[in-house]
Amino acid sequence: MLEVSGLNAFYGDSHILHAVDLTVGSSDRVSILGRNGSGKTTLMKSILNAGPYIHGSISLDHRDLARETSFQRARLGLSLVPEDRRIFPHLTVTDNLLIALAAAGDRAGLDLERVLDTFPMLGPLAARYGSQLSGGQQQMVAVARGVMPRPRFLLLDEPTEGLAPVIVRQLAQSVAKLCNEFKIGLLLSEQNIWFARFCTQYVHIIESGRIVFSGSWDEFESRPDVKHRYLAV
C-alpha cells in the first residue's frame, strides 16, 4: 500500500501542495485530475523524492520513505514516468527499456519481449534511437520503460499530453493490460478524462495543491458541478 498523509510540498518559498492525503492499495488504480498548475506533477515528484522539499508522510507498506533517496524508492517498487518522457536519445528503444531493469534491484523485472508485445508499436522500432522517434513513439517507450522493472506502483504523469487520439487508445489498452496482468498499482496524473476512466477505478481532483474531491468514477459522474468547477477550461 502506498500512503500519502498530510503532504506539504515546496519549491523554495512557494507552497505548492497543502496537506494532501491519498492511498493507493496494492493493485488499485487511481487518477489525479486537475488543470495545469494544480499540483499534479509536484505530487508525483514528491512521492519519488525527485525535487520538491516536503513536510508530511509518504510510506510504502507502512515503511516511512522519508530517508529513502529516489533510487532507493525505485528499488522498493516505485516507478515514475515523467511528463517530459526523458528517454535517452543516444540509446536504441531496446536499450532504453533494458537499462530500466537496474531499478528492479532484487526483484525480477519483466521480459523485454513480453513488454514489446504489449506495446505493439515498439516492436518494429526496437533498433531505432530515441532521437529518431516521434513524440507519440517516445511516450510509448517512456511508459514501457516504466514497467520494465515490474514496479509495485507505477506513477504516470500526464502520459497523453500532445498525443494523437489513436495513440491515446493504444496506450490506455497497454497500461490497463499490464497493470491487470502483473498486479501493478497505478497512480495516474491526467487531464484526459476518457483515458483516466479507462485506466483507473478511483479519482481525486486537485486544485491549487489541495484535494477537493475523492471517490469512484460513478460518484464523479454524479457530480457535474465538480467537473465544471474544477476541470472545465
Q: What is the pLDDT of residues 150-201, one digit of tens each?
A: 999 999 999 998 889 999 999 999 999 999 999 999 999 999 999 999 999 9
- The chain-wide mean pLDDT, for the chain, equals 94
Extract the C-alpha cell encoding 82. Answer: 515523467
Contacts 24+ apart (CB under 8 A), 57-61: 57/3, 57/4, 57/5, 57/6, 57/7, 58/2, 58/3, 58/4, 58/5, 58/7, 59/2, 59/3, 59/5, 60/1, 60/2, 60/3, 60/152, 60/153, 61/1
Closest alpha carbon to 54 in 1, 17, 3, 2: 17
pLDDT score of 233 more than 70: no
Amino acid letter at 179? C
pLDDT score of 206 more than 90: yes
Beta bridge partners of 215: 203
Distance CA 21, CA 164 (A): 33
- pLDDT for 222 equals 94
Amino acid letter at 99? I
Q: What is the pLDDT of residues 54-108, one digit of tens each?
A: 999 999 999 999 999 999 999 999 999 998 889 999 999 999 999 999 888 888 8
For the chain, the first-to-last Cα distance in angstroms comes to: 34
pLDDT score of 138 more than 70: yes
The share of the chain scoring above pLDDT 70, in percent, equals: 100
The DSSP call for residue 159 is T
Beta bridge partners of 60: 2, 63
Distances (CA, A) of 140 to 74, 125, 134, 145: 20, 11, 10, 8
Please tell me whether the overall predicted TM-score, pTM, comes out greater than 0.85 for this model. Answer: yes
Q: Give all domains of the chain, ordered by start, each with its CATH number.
A: 2-230 (3.40.50.300)
Distance CA 165, CA 71 (A): 34
Distance CA 18, CA 98 (A): 37
